[in-house]
Amino acid sequence: MKFSFKNDYSEGCHPNILQALLQYNTDQQAGYGEDEYSKQAKKLIKEKIKNPNSEIYFVSGGTQANLIVISSVLRPYQCAISAASGHILNNETGAIEATGHKILSIEKEDGKLNPEDIIPILESHRNIPHQVMPKLVYISNSTELGTVYTLDELTKLSKFCRENHLYLFMDGARMGHGLTSEISDLTLEKVAELTDIFYLGGTKNGALIGEAIVINNRDLQQDFAFNIKQKGALLAKGRLLGIQFLELMREDLYFDLAKHANQQAMKIKNAMQRKGVQFLSDTYTNQIFPILDNGLIQKLSENFEFYVWKKIDENSSAIRLITSWNTPDEPVNHFIEIINNEL
């Protein structure tokens, strides 16, 4: 079996989580998220973001989190704004539109939005009532392209959104990787302060399942649970989600796992850079997009699984490599060895 760098959800979960599932297995607990584990996990998250007034809900996955948040927050005629690379635009089978809302798309090479990107959207949507009303800005951190927001970037974007009555929603399917990137100066506490809603992704960072939606804007908290139930996202055995986040949030496990994933990717990146390899984008998280000669790609694919991401020219393509909380040193070293041998 070839080792896979295809994505960060190929394995199971961190052993602590399985251990906890075993330990608490036969306790009788209230259903639908009212169990003790969920309560404790929420308490831990509130401590970490230093905001006792935020409200937290656990759901199963990212598409589910995105569609529940957006359909809950918007009125029928309002729409979301997203970078063209946004997960909601091209990888969720129209899940947002299926709840009735358009997404306006902005082409960005780095997958990040700033106020200058959004101003033209606002200016070109003033033909009331013939156009949708832009109302929510969707961003991801780390982005779908592996890039991250700095504190300064997020602060400016947040200020702009508040001045323009736009909600700021951060998809944190890879929040751990974004915040532990070696170039990130952003903290979870700051994310909570600067966004209206965000979520902490568990699925791609050590959990079997689960994203923690954190609602910081109190206007958006009311009745949120109804939307979770209505969209079929309220697990009867909510303890399954609570236990995952309880373990991930203990001490710094969540961030330690993400940091490991980032470091493994950076090892490969650095090895390649030493050999002069170019990258499609300059990332410092667990996703890297090296541009390689097709022969080398062929050679690597005999030993590893990964996606060929984009054809560059007749002779070369960018590939995507993703590492995870569980990527061991061995395949990383093996990969680097081939690079060193071949380049």
Applying the rule CB under 8 A, the residues between 122 and 151 that interact with its own copies are: 127-133
- Tokens 């070109």 identify what position? 124
Under the criterion CB under 8 A, does residue 84 sit at the interface with its own copies?
no
Q: Which of 134, 62, 140 lies closest to 101 in space, CA to CA? A: 134
Q: Which string of x and - marks every residue 278-317 that binds its own copies (by CB under 8 A)?
A: ----------------------------------------
Q: Which stretch binds its own copies (CB under 8 A): 157-165, 220-228, 249-257, 286-294?
A: 220-228
Beta pairing, strands 316-322 & 304-305? unpaired
Q: Which string of x and - marks every residue 323-342 that binds its own copies (by CB under 8 A)?
A: ---x----------------
Q: Which string of x and - marks every residue 40-79 that binds its own copies (by CB under 8 A)?
A: -------------------xxxxxxxxxx--xx--xxx-x
Please state the closest distance from residue 260 (CB atom) to its own copies, in A: 15
Under the criterion CB under 8 A, does residue 181 sit at the interface with its own copies?
no
Provide the residue count of the chain. Answer: 343
Q: What residues have CB less than 8 Å from 259, skipping those under 6 apart?
A: 176, 180
Q: Which is nearer to its own copies, 20 or 214 (CB)?
A: 20
Under the criterion CB under 8 A, does residue 34 sit at the interface with its own copies?
no
Q: Which string of x and - marks every residue 233-272 that binds its own copies (by CB under 8 A)?
A: xxxxx-xx--------------------------------
- Taking CA atoms, 134 is separated from 120, 151, 179, in Å, by 11, 24, 28
> Phi/psi of residue 174, each to 5°?
-120, 40
Residues 193-212 binding its own copies (CB under 8 A) are 203-204, 208-209
Question: Helix H segments across the chain?
Answer: 15-23, 36-49, 62-73, 87-90, 95-98, 115-123, 151-163, 175-179, 188-194, 224-230, 239-249, 253-274, 294-301, 329-342
Q: Which is nearer to its own copies, 95 or 191 (CB)?
A: 95
- Tokens 């979520």 identify what position? 199
Rounded-to-integer distance, Cα 179 and Cα 191, Å: 9
Q: Which is nearer to its own copies, 174 or 269 (CB)?
A: 174
Please state the closest distance from residue 35 (CB atom) to its own copies, in A: 9
Residues 221-240 binding its own copies (CB under 8 A) are 223, 225-237, 239-240
Give me the DSSP letters along 54-69: -EEEEES-HHHHHHHH
Of 15, 295, 308, 342, which one interacts with its own copies (CB under 8 A)? 15
Under the criterion CB under 8 A, does residue 164 sit at the interface with its own copies?
no
Residues 88-107 binding its own copies (CB under 8 A) are 90-95, 97-102
**Helix H or strand E encompassing 78:** strand 78-83
